[in-house]
Amino acid sequence: MAKGYWIARVDVHNDEGYKPYAAANPGIFKKFGGRFVVRGGKFEAPEGTARSRNVIIEFPDYAAALACYRSPEYQANIKVRQPHAVIDLLIIEGYDGPQP
Amino acid sequence: MPKGYWLPQIDVSNMDGYKAYMAATPPAHEKYKGAALARGGRSEAVEGRARSRCVIREFPDYATALACYRSEEYQRARPLRLLHSQCDFVIAEGYHDPTPQSSAATAKKGYWIAHIDVTDAAAHQAYVAAMVTHVGRFGGRFLVRGGAREVPEGQVRARTAVLEFPSYDAASGSYHSPDYLPVKKLRDGAAEVDLVIVEGYDGPKF
């Protein structure tokens, strides 16, 4: 079964305001079997545009990744984030074909 | 410091009763940072005898694994398990490989995250074929390569690939390698790309 992923790039305008959102997330992700693959961390953007914070969360499958986003808990947490950050969020099915 | 592990094997006689036990364990596991690596997934006893349910739970170290078992929180949950199952329970210390390769293997991984708009599909295919060979030399493997998708917030390009490398240096090195230049040239005019190379997360699991 292919995993599911959230791939987010985020510009945070107000660190203090963003903190309660970030603090509430692990409890929500855990419920859906999510784990952080990337969580901030140093990065370079050699091509195109980027935002200042990159996050990848891995879920057991695509359905779990979608269900987590649509859960009442996360939908409520979006409202905590919205005044303090701009985000591009992609929810995508993982790859389980042959590897290089 | 080597990790510590719980390695219980369980035959459950009454699943409904056993569920009450499982529901009672999170306070202990959260307090002692016990993360489930295996929890009743498929298993096969290829030699000898085994019980039907296998669990592996990883703790920061052996002392913490023992302390969790002996904690008031866990000892409150344990009687619920005894009523509804039989268990062989081992708590073991992990193996700490002292060789440098091992510390490299457990270091933070590195990732390419590429959002792509393809403008010339045939030319882009030639690029992808060459790129797969190139990143393979740096230990790259795909976590995401196309696939079903939704963009519930903001904007990203139409196609996405995520490659995982053994380290940030490998991820960055594969991009900046002189060998990548002729590969990258294949997608000039064939695609527009937002590419970030980012370090992975190896902090505490929740």
Find the closest chain A residue to B116 by CA distance. Answer: A48
The identity of residue B176, as a single letter, is: H
Best residue in A5, A12, A25, A47 for a mutation probing chain B (most B CBs within 10 Å): A47
Pairwise CA distance, residues A29 & A65, whole Å: 9
Element (H, E) at A76: helix A72-81
Contact B57, B37 (CB under 8 A): yes
Which pLDDT score is estimated for B106?
A: 54
Query: CB-based contact (8 Å) between A46 and chain B?
Result: yes
Query: CB-based contact (8 Å) between A49 and chain B?
Result: yes
Chain A residues whose beta carbon lies within 8 Å of the beta carbon of residue B108: 41
Q: For the residues of B45-104, what is the DSSP string, one character each?
A: --SS---SEEEEEEESSHHHHHHHHHSHHHHHHHHHHHHHEEEEEEEEE-----SHHHHH
Higher-confidence position of B43 and A30: A30
Q: Tell me: domain B105-199, CATH 3.30.70.100, correct? A: yes
Q: SS in 3 state form for B100-141? A: HHHHHHHCCCEEEEEEEEECCHHHHHHHHHHHHHHHHHCCCE
Q: Which residue ranges form the domains of chain A, and what is each CATH number?
A: 4-93 (3.30.70.100)
Query: CB-based contact (8 Å) between A5 and chain B?
Result: yes
Least Cα distance to B32 among B8, B50, B6 occurs for B6
Please check the confidence at residue A24 and state whether its pLDDT lies above 80. Answer: yes
In chain B, domain spans: 4-93, 105-199
CATH label, B4-93, candidates 3.30.70.100, 3.30.70.580, 3.40.50.20, 3.40.50.11610: 3.30.70.100
What tens digit of pLDDT does each residue of B36-88 get? 999 888 888 888 888 889 999 999 999 999 999 999 999 999 999 999 999 99
Same fold, B4-93 and B105-199: yes
Element (H, E) at B193: strand B191-199
Picking from A36, A46, A86, the nearest residue to B201 by CB comes out as A36
Which pLDDT score is estimated for A80?
A: 97
Rg (C-alpha) for chain B, rounded Å, is: 23
Q: Strands B35-39, B159-165: parallel, antiparallel or unpaired by DSSP?
A: unpaired
Please tell me the distance in Å from B109's CA to the nearest CA on chain A. Answer: 9
Looking at this predicted complex, what is its ipTM?
Answer: 0.89
Q: How many CB atoms lie within 10 A of CB A79?
A: 9
The pTM (predicted TM-score) of the whole model is 0.64
What tens digit of pLDDT does each residue of B121-176 get? 999 999 999 999 999 999 999 999 988 999 999 999 999 999 999 999 999 999 99
Cβ <8 Å between B147 and A95: yes
Chain B residues whose beta carbon lies within 8 Å of the beta carbon of residue A93: 144, 147-149
Chain B residues whose beta carbon lies within 8 Å of the beta carbon of residue A86: 154
CA B198 to chain centre: 17
Cβ <8 Å between B195 and A86: no
Which pLDDT score is estimated for A33?
A: 95
